[in-house]
Amino acid sequence: MLAFSGPRKLTPQETKQVLNLLPANPPAVGVGDAKGLDALVAEHYTEKTDLTIYHVEGRERWQFAARSQRMVNDATELIAFPNKPCPETCTPTKPFSGHGSGTWGTIAYAIKKGLKVTIYPLDGSQAPSWAEQRQLTLI
């Protein structure tokens, strides 16, 4: 399954950018239940592939991280669209530090789990050194 992660709010330009980068025919797709990228991906792949939407079970911060972890645990690959730099406290050793970006936390967790990860930074920022050392595709 191909999983996706990204921001809860997308500008019109970011929306176009994401739509141009989505793979045409993945056999299965997983995405969270948030607004923004999650909703865009879900709408794009509805009725085109096997789509799984991962829901948050509660409203606590850790429950959002748990949702992302369930998705990554079921995935074979992650495509992520961060729109801000990675928080310094986020690493594969401690992906969800509670101080920043859920997208970067999902990326770090996927790297920790050994998934293939493709990162498309919507803001043009560089990936942290721990991501670059894993030879990720950066565009």
pLDDT tens digits, one per residue of 70-86: 999 999 999 999 999 99
Which of 15, 61, 113, 134 has the alpha carbon at shortest distance from 7?
15
Answer yes or no: are the C-beta atoms of 77 and 116 closer than 8 Å.
yes
Query: Which pLDDT tens digit goes with each residue over 82-109?
Result: 999 999 889 999 898 766 689 999 999 9
Question: Using an 8 Å Cβ cutoff, are 83 and 102 in contact?
Answer: no
- Model pTM? 0.91
Question: Residue 23: is its pLDDT beyond 80?
Answer: yes
Helices 102-113 and 61-74: angle between axes, nearest 10 degrees: 40
Tokens 């495509």 map to which residue? Answer: 79
Residue 120 near residue 136 (C-beta atoms within 8 A): no
d(CA 126, CA 139): 10
Q: What is the mean pLDDT of residues 25-49?
A: 96
Output the six-digit token pair for 44. Answer: 């794009």
Closest CA to 106 of 138, 135, 79: 79
